[in-house]
Homo-oligomer: A and B are copies of this chain.
């Protein structure tokens, strides 16, 4: 049975999963919850995703949520399909530790700030609310404060987990694109952070991202 991706087509975390499905050429069926009835807060949805979030997948009866975990599962299960997105030797304890380090860097140093800005300046507006300037300032400061660290990291290696592309690089796409759309040049200012800009340009110009960035297609 084809993998079922349960998410709104525009969901940031849904698009995070979808770009990897496209990159790995894994067929899927998009199943969108009903926004009007807030289906993702219904008891039926909560059976599969107890926090009322999206996306979750149903892979022939195996239910999994959290976009980053889904991506690692897909990259591992379909290791030989599409673009390789794992360290070349997955039995190498140190290589896998560096991968886990990269996973944590994204969730600790990037997501809270970039995601926070999206929530204030994009999601709130969609709900008819105004951005709170105190929160915006905090997340802007947080984002600026991390860029030197990212530059240092990417001056020593090509990608987030070393010199090979891995699934972790794809974690950055939805909120990274959001930063650009909001007019921030954190990831694009090559004179301030040349290696960040070099990395971001490569990641964000991939065909798989172009295929899903404006909304997940119904299937591959």
Contact = CB atoms under 8 A, between A and B. Distances in A.
A52 B108 contact: no
Contacts of A51: 105, 109, 146, 149
A89 interface: no
Contacts of A73: 93, 96-97, 100
Nearest to A138: B135
22 contacts: A50-B148, A50-B149, A50-B150, A50-B152, A50-B153, A51-B109, A51-B146, A51-B149, A66-B108, A69-B97, A69-B100, A69-B101, A69-B103, A69-B104, A73-B96, A73-B97, A73-B100, A76-B96, A104-B107, A132-B134, A134-B134, A135-B138
Interface of A is mostly: helix
A150 B108 CA distance: 21
Contacts of A27: none
Nearest to A107: B107
A2 interface: no
B104 A66 contact: yes
Interface string A44-74: 0010001110000000001011111110110
Given A132-B134, A149-B50, A64 B98 contact: yes
Interface of A: 46, 50-52, 62, 64-70, 72-73, 76-77, 93-94, 96-98, 100-101, 103-105, 107-109, 112, 132, 134-135, 138, 146, 148-150, 152-153
Contacts of A76: 93, 96-97
